[in-house]
Structure 1
Amino acid sequence: MGETLEQLRDIAGQCAGTPVWSLPDADLVDAIHTVHDAEQMLAAAKLHLVREIDGRNLPITQQAANTAVWLREQLHISIHTARRTVDLAKTLDQRPALDVALSTAAVNVEQAQIVAKTVHDLADEAAPDVVDLAEKALIAEFADWEPATFRKAAARILTHVAPEAADEADRRAAERDEKRAQRTRAFTLTNNGDGRFRVTGWLDAEAAAIVNAALDPLCKPDLERTAAQRRADALVEVCRLALRTEQLPDNGGDRPQVVVTVPYDVVRHELGVGQLDTGEALSPQQVRRLACDARILPVVLGGQGQILDVGQQRRLFTGPLRRALVARDGGCAFPGCDRPPQWCDGHHIRHWTDGGDTALDNGVLLCGYHHRLIHRGEWEVRIADDGRPEFIPPPYVDSERRPRRNIYHRRT
């Protein structure tokens, strides 16, 4: 076998080094199918080797904790990939039909992993002959489906091969999944150390539906943000809305709020880099944006760390003044935006940190996205002679920089 493998590596090297630009379209398509099939067959051969290595306890004799750890060190792959490889190797050893299917490229590795998980889960729900039927059906009837659709078929395979047992199996599976989801639910916010925080966790189906229902209206597609960025922004906006409702329980004897400590240069009359009470730094631009209308408690420091001001709750557009902003603007005042007022901040046209008044003629409602846009400084906002806000676009949007208004919320 060693000589054959050496020849195989040489042939693979020749294929990898051969230019493909001269191939006609039809040959190019044929070639990628051939290489893909060969890749699946080689994957099966690799899994056979892994199974034999695992069966001999070879990793243990080489002082590895287990076969997955050994594979990670030998093949320089992630521990997640290594574990999936070991699990699939064991399944192929126990399921000859699946082994043959992968060895002949009737299914690919992703599909084989789905079949392996399906037969494993069904072992507790159905008789062995039904499990065999499910495996056979997935390989014979659904192998032309890509993995996402293939996975859906696998989830409903009992309905296809044993409908009389499907309902009861579905009920038990749903109860099992619910208990597992409840037991393993988690939410983690991890400081990545570079200004970013990683959000990870698990929810059950009901909780996920609630979160999706809250986020989805805020994930309207636009040209400037990816889908993932829109979801991240939506999560923050939902939390900001929760803070704005004033219905959250007290936290340490006070209502929930963000605390920002920021040095103040009394000579240049400007704010420096801020610091959250959790220790993370905020840029001066972020501090300015938060100071507009976010539920924060600013602690402004002088040259020697002297506290110049704490609180200044009057900086917020609240009560009658906010209601006046809502009555005038109707929602986000940025041209073309349809965000309702409950998702908007009261933005100081002349920054509060620069001495701007918290007054109707110095305020405008902006959603979170357009609030950030205005703080970047390319667009300008002002109150026109008729008392309504208008926006001046940057030259690359309109070389004449003609004022624009939001007509979406206009009542007359």
Structure 2
Amino acid sequence: MELLEQAATALAEADPHEVSGQVLAEALSRLEAVESQLSAARLAVVAAIEADGTWATSGAASLNAWLREHTGRFTRETARMTTQARALRDHLPATGAALAQGKIGTDHLWTLVRHATSSPGCIQALSHPELGEQFLVEQASALDASRFDTLLKSWALRADPEAADRRWKAESDREEFSLARTTDGWHGTIWLTPANGTLVHQALQAQAGRRADGDTRSPAQRRVAALVDMAGSALDSGKLQPGARIRPHLAITAPLTTLLALAEAQAPARSLAGSRPAEVSRTGPADPGDSGRTTPDHRTDGAAEDLPVATIPVALDHDRLQGADAATLEDGTPIPFGLFAQLACESRLHRVVFGPDSEILDVGREERLFTAGQTRGIIARDGHCQFPSCAAPPGQGEIHHSLWWYAHHGSTTTANGILLCRYHHSYVHQRELLIERYPDHWRFVRNNGTTFATTRTRPVQPALR
């Protein structure tokens, strides 16, 4: 031990930057081998300590507790240490010898302990002359830990199929997904079997698609966006409760005065200093799918090509929202006005009128801000999410527009709507990006008047005079 401590001290004091890369690579390989040898020695000591029994006289409740106190390791690490020590002592002598010689690593050891000693059938198969422990040790010395883990799972499945089925059933019973409300959101934990985990992972990968240029989200952020998209698409389809009178969805409750105040706060003139909203022509040509509703004049004579043909404001004048009652979720949780504006973009609205004693006086018919024809028209026109560098299909999209147009110009027109995926719909509201539509492109504008980005659109055919 003294010689080992002296060598470790000398090694720790050495400067690896003073040697070449080839020497460093060789040093790393040798360190891995030495670590395996040290692990073999440590596990032999643990097995001897357990056999000696002196640890029990210290008052420790268990060998794991005694090891935790003397090593300072986590409980899970001391439990793994005792499991490995017992397996090497009782079932894996060839594995212990290979570990002591540095031929296999500690990850290989743990894989062998987990799978090769998991059932009586597997333990019996270790004595097989051709496919027993010696065969597994040879494979461990030739494969990295990941590939060896796959091989050993197959070996265990063949050695004891019944035990593999029992594990599968037990793992299925362990599956869980918990989602709990916290003070500022939701927190969840999940554990799935390998098969179901792979299924969910592939679904999230497919939903997220390839990362677009300029998408700076982390993989975890893209996965959660994909999960929300999948939930929204499932609810939109109506397949979850096809017989229900009202499809399950997110319900927001707000007084009419709040909805009107939100519309006023979203007026185009206040959305961006110096930006002119498109003028509305009551005799202009109709957009595809608009069912004859009026749209902004497209100015096909080219006299005002520098002006947008439609403007979709997002920024809110919060002074106009002072004192307004907050919209709430079903459980009464208030939500920010910006989020309310986003959720109201593609919602069904219906009125409920209460009397002075809270009795229901009237329940109005449910109404969509966009008709089905208008929605089809916008999807046909845009084809996919129109945010720069995003090509999310319509199934992941929502129609983004301004409540101000609906409140002050009657029915919402398709000229004042744009198809955005759920993530970029939220992004536009959070960043308060005003959107201007031109004959051949969309322009996304920051609050300070500068261009955030532009997206080319499909060619616009001039209207017949």
The answer for the alignment partner of 2:267 in structure 1 is: none
The answer for the alignment partner of 1:112 in structure 2 is: 109
User: How much does 1:22 deviate?
Assistant: 0.7
Matches within 5 A, 1:189-228: 189-190=179-180, 195=185, 197-203=187-193, 205=195, 207-208=196-197, 210-222=199-211, 223-228=215-220
User: How much does 1:117 deviate?
Assistant: 1.8
Paired letter, 1:44:
A
Paired letter, 2:134:
K
Partners of 2:116 and 2:152 within 8 A in 1: no
Q: Distance in 2 between matches of 1:26 and 1:198?
A: 46
* Aligned equivalent of 1:241, options 230, 233, 256: 233
Matches within 5 A, 1:274-353: 276-277=329-330, 284-293=337-346, 314=367, 317=370, 319-349=372-402
User: How much does 1:59 deviate?
Assistant: 5.7
Q: Determine whether 1:362 maps to 2:416.
A: yes
The answer for the alignment partner of 2:93 in structure 1 is: 96
Structure 1 segments unaligned to the other structure (5+ residues): 160-165, 300-309
Partners of 2:348 and 2:367 within 8 A in 1: no
Paired letter, 1:35:
L
The answer for the alignment partner of 2:177 in structure 1 is: 187
Q: Secondary structure at the match of 2:132?
A: helix
Q: Distance in 2 between matches of 1:67 and 1:393?
A: 66
The answer for the alignment partner of 1:405 in structure 2 is: 456
Matches within 5 A, 1:92-171: 92-94=88-90, 95-121=92-118, 123-125=120-122, 127-130=125-128, 133-157=131-155, 166=158, 169=159, 171=161
Per-residue deviation, residues 160-195 of structure 1 (Å, max 9, x unmatched): xxxxxx4xx575355334322332221122457665
The answer for the alignment partner of 2:72 in structure 1 is: 76
Per-residue deviation, residues 267-323 of structure 1 (Å, max 9, x unmatched): 823489876556877555444433333789999xxxxxxxxxx99964654633322
Paired letter, 1:184:
R
The answer for the alignment partner of 2:168 in structure 1 is: 178
Q: Secondary structure at the match of 2:431?
A: coil
Partners of 2:88 and 2:95 within 8 A in 1: yes
In angstroms, what is the RMSD of aligned CA positions? 4.3
The answer for the alignment partner of 2:63 in structure 1 is: 67
Partners of 2:385 and 2:394 within 8 A in 1: yes
* Aligned length in residues: 383
Q: Determine whether 1:390 maps to 2:447.
A: no
TM-score w.r.t. length of structure 1 = 0.75
Q: Secondary structure at the match of 2:43?
A: helix
Q: Secondary structure at the match of 1:121?
A: coil
Paired letter, 1:321:
Q
The answer for the alignment partner of 1:307 in structure 2 is: none
Q: Distance in 1 between matches of 2:153 and 2:220?
A: 27
- From the superposition, tell whether residues 56 and 177 of structure 1 become closer, same or farther in structure 2 (CA, over 3 Å): same
Partners of 2:443 and 2:451 within 8 A in 1: no
Structure 2 segments unaligned to the other structure (5+ residues): 262-317, 353-362
Partners of 1:262 and 1:275 within 8 A in 2: yes
Q: Secondary structure at the match of 2:142?
A: coil
Partners of 1:258 and 1:296 within 8 A in 2: no
The answer for the alignment partner of 1:304 in structure 2 is: none
Q: Distance in 1 between matches of 2:62 and 2:152?
A: 30
Q: Determine whether 1:31 maps to 2:17.
A: no
Q: Distance in 1 between matches of 2:184 and 2:56?
A: 39
Q: Secondary structure at the match of 1:224?
A: coil
User: How much does 1:262 deviate?
Assistant: 7.7
- From the superposition, tell whether residues 249 and 317 of structure 1 become closer, same or farther in structure 2 (CA, over 3 Å): same
* Same amino acid, percent of matched pairs: 26
Q: Distance in 2 between matches of 1:345 and 1:248?
A: 20
- From the superposition, tell whether residues 154 and 382 of structure 1 become closer, same or farther in structure 2 (CA, over 3 Å): same
Q: Secondary structure at the match of 1:381?
A: strand
Q: Distance in 1 between matches of 2:344 and 2:408?
A: 12
Partners of 1:215 and 1:235 within 8 A in 2: yes
Q: Distance in 2 between matches of 1:227 and 1:212?
A: 12
Q: Distance in 1 between matches of 2:60 and 2:364?
A: 58
Q: Distance in 1 between matches of 2:332 and 2:81?
A: 42
Greater radius of gyration (CA): 2
Query: Which deviates further from its counterpart, 50-59 or 363-372?
Result: 50-59
- From the superposition, tell whether residues 281 and 153 of structure 1 become closer, same or farther in structure 2 (CA, over 3 Å): farther
The answer for the alignment partner of 1:162 in structure 2 is: none
The answer for the alignment partner of 2:286 in structure 1 is: none
Q: Distance in 2 between matches of 1:9 and 1:87?
A: 27
Paired letter, 1:151:
D
Q: Secondary structure at the match of 2:400?
A: strand
The answer for the alignment partner of 2:315 in structure 1 is: none
Per-residue deviation, residues 128-162 of structure 1 (Å, max 9, x unmatched): 52288432122223323221111112223479xxx
- From the superposition, tell whether residues 402 and 239 of structure 1 become closer, same or farther in structure 2 (CA, over 3 Å): closer
Q: Distance in 1 between matches of 2:205 and 2:370?
A: 27
Per-residue deviation, residues 313-355 of structure 1 (Å, max 9, x unmatched): 6465463332232232223222443322111111124679998
Q: Secondary structure at the match of 2:384?
A: coil
